[in-house]
Structure 1
Amino acid sequence: MDTSGELSPAVRSILSAAEERDGGETRCTVDARSLPDALDAAADGGRAPVIAELKPTSPTTDGERTDDPVELAEEMVAGGAAALSVLTEPEHFGGSTETLRRVREAVSVPVLRKDFLLREAQLDAVASDVVLLIARFVDDLDGLLAAARERGFQVLVEVHTPGEARTALDAGADIIGVNNRDLAELSVDLSTFESVVESVPELRDGSVTLIAESGIETREDVTRMRSAGADGLLVGSAIMDGDVRENTERLTDV
């Protein structure tokens, strides 16, 4: 885990909790729904390929959503979401593995498990179609990526810098998310995605499904990220803040 640079206190607290969190009691075996196929189908159908994120709260938002997460998920899908992301981190985001399980049973689109996974046993806490591995915080990216794939998971490897993107590519990642949020200060800059893609042209050679994460709030942001090469867009707060169906429709109807 690379914590050599400055990290916000919130991120340090999240990582500390993640280090203590147990995994599942039995090994997961997953028949995953394809995230790349779902994103391509949305784009082919004239919709922005949005992964809508269910997060009751977070260190960067005020308040908490207490609606039934299954109902929210169904509204997001009805609004045009190509896939869903469900927070399972409990202490800082109000998520749970049970929420993910219920949501995945209720929808037909791919579901990403959004969490801070640090070791293999944590993969077995719940079945999902996709799991998130954050390149900066995983000690053995190659090993954890392989362990996830052995279980049937697809893997979204999250990066924030060109160096992390090259590490992800070297590990064999085929779904890579560029997070526009700087975890040192929790600040957001959409140009992060553009600069990483420009610095690592292999990200656009057709071998990688490329996801833009964080800070996408408007249709103009969607267009900007798509123009920069994003195959999909992970959107949380801009959908969760208000009517989730209307917000999803607003961002996918381009």
Structure 2
Amino acid sequence: MDDGTAVESSDLAPAVASILADARERSVSGERVSVRPRSLPDRLDAVGNDRVPVIAEVKPTSPTTDGTRTDDPVALAQRMVSGGAAALSVLTEPDHFGGSTETLARIRSAVDVPVLRKDFIVREAQLDAVEADVVLLIARFVDNLPKLLAAARDRGFQVLVEVHTESELDRAIDAGARIIGINNRDLARLEVALETFERLSPSVPDSVTLIAESGITTPADAARMRRAGADGLLIGSAIMDGDVETNTQRLTTRA
């Protein structure tokens, strides 16, 4: 049994609390999915010797950025892959990030790299919204992490378990997470500190694929996270703000 307890909304920044409240209410109707995933760890390993292994994020908008991208998300995704992205992350949260499960399905059909579904999944039924190669579970928001992790794996998903604190990292490791993302953004204050990854990464077992998330905006930041042990980097705003292919090339090129 998972000893962790999902965070109370009062502990979060108002924008994040609103997103979580909507996620808890969101229903999914449909058949149980069954996925044959493209391997994210294998893909990150395959590109890691030649370029920085980046998971580029298709993010039309977010509470922490200004403006909205109205470009065709499939075209954006293809240009990210052309720019060297090892994998893609696609927002499917509709109300605050402008995402959709339909967009993810279109993107996954158009590219040959692993695709992560990034959303606020808190119940098993929400796993059945769309097929993806990887799903995100945010440890802070999940009451019973081992149960939801097992439910995702039963459907064939690989699972990226996101953490921000030592206790969340312990929960993820105890639950048997094989892919862990350390989020440099504190969801209580929306502040970003790359030191978060550097502080927590030494406690992650070598057998785990480790992803650095948030606050990576320059090649120097990317190199810093790689030195601290990141097997991959999840980058959103720094790629979406401008020409996505050029930005992806800049951040995937080894210094």
TM-score (norm. length: structure 2): 0.96
| SS of alignment partner, residue 11 of structure 2 | coil
Cα distance per residue 1:50-86 (max 9 Å; x no partner): 0000010000000000000000000000000000000
* TM-aligned CA deviation for residue 5 of structure 1: 6.5
Cα separation, 1, equivalents of 2:198 and 2:9: 25
Segments of 5+ residues of structure 1 without an aligned counterpart are none
Is 2:103 the partner of 1:87?
A: no
- The letter of the residue matching 2:154 is E
Is 2:30 the partner of 1:25?
A: yes
Cα separation, 2, equivalents of 1:243 and 1:38: 24
Matches within 5 A, 1:17-56: 17-44=22-49, 46-56=50-60
Q: Is the 8 A contact 2:9 2:17 kept in 1?
A: no
Q: Is the 8 A contact 1:72 1:244 kept in 2?
A: yes
Is 2:125 the partner of 1:121?
A: yes
Q: Is the 8 A contact 1:24 1:126 kept in 2?
A: no
* TM-aligned CA deviation for residue 23 of structure 1: 1.9
- Per the alignment, residue 105 of structure 1 pairs with 109
Is 2:5 the partner of 1:7?
A: no
Divergent runs of 4+, >2 A: none
Matches within 5 A, 1:207-222: 207-222=207-222
Is 2:148 the partner of 1:148?
A: no
- Per the alignment, residue 224 of structure 2 pairs with 224
- The letter of the residue matching 1:216 is I
Q: Is the 8 A contact 1:57 1:64 kept in 2?
A: yes
Cα separation, 2, equivalents of 1:4 and 1:216: 27
Cα separation, 2, equivalents of 1:101 and 1:113: 10
C-alpha RMSD over aligned residues: 0.9
- Per the alignment, residue 3 of structure 2 pairs with none
Cα separation, 2, equivalents of 1:84 and 1:227: 22
* TM-aligned CA deviation for residue 146 of structure 1: 0.2
Matches within 5 A, 1:123-138: 123-138=127-142
Cα distance per residue 1:206-239 (max 9 Å; x no partner): 2100000000000000000000000000000000
| SS of alignment partner, residue 57 of structure 1 | coil
- The letter of the residue matching 1:25 is G
* TM-aligned CA deviation for residue 162 of structure 1: 1.2
Cα distance per residue 1:151-191 (max 9 Å; x no partner): 00000000001111111000000000000000001110000
Cα separation, 1, equivalents of 2:10 and 2:70: 35
TM-score (norm. length: structure 1): 0.97
Cα distance per residue 1:8-51 (max 9 Å; x no partner): 0001100010011112410000000000011001103x110000
- The letter of the residue matching 2:252 is T
